[in-house]
Amino acid sequence: MKARVKKDTCIGCGACTVIADKVFQIGEDGLAEVINPDEKELEKNGEKIQEITKDNQENVVDASESCPTGAIELTE
């Protein structure tokens, strides 16, 4: 599973950074982002996308479902 935050949708409420604190943080722009983005994806399209390890998956799904604006995108 991979996760990214859609910056145009995030309102910076911080809920995801509490629910999945090992994956999401509030960036310098005041909006959420993944903490350890894949470098190749970052180079390719400037997107911060993180591969989610098994031990974080439950929290990340929980964070995604709890996000008030649906800003957390999960893909396989």
- Choice between 53 and 69, CB closer to ligand SF4: 69
The one among 1, 2, 12, 35 contacting ligand SF4 by CB under 6 A: 12
Query: Pairing mode, if any, of strands 32-34 and 72-75?
Result: unpaired
Selected range binding ligand SF4 among 38-46, 54-62, 64-72, rule: CB under 6 A: 64-72
67 in contact with ligand SF4 (CB under 6 A): yes
List the one residue from 11, 21, 30, 65 that touches ligand SF4 (CB under 6 A): 11
In the complex, minimum distance from the CB of residue 12 to ligand SF4, in angstroms, rounded to a whole number: 5
Is the distance from CB of 17 to CB of 68 less than 8 angstroms?
no
Cα separations in angstroms, 76 against 1, 4, 26, 32: 4, 12, 24, 20
Q: Decide: 2 and 51 in contact? Cβ < 8 Å.
A: yes
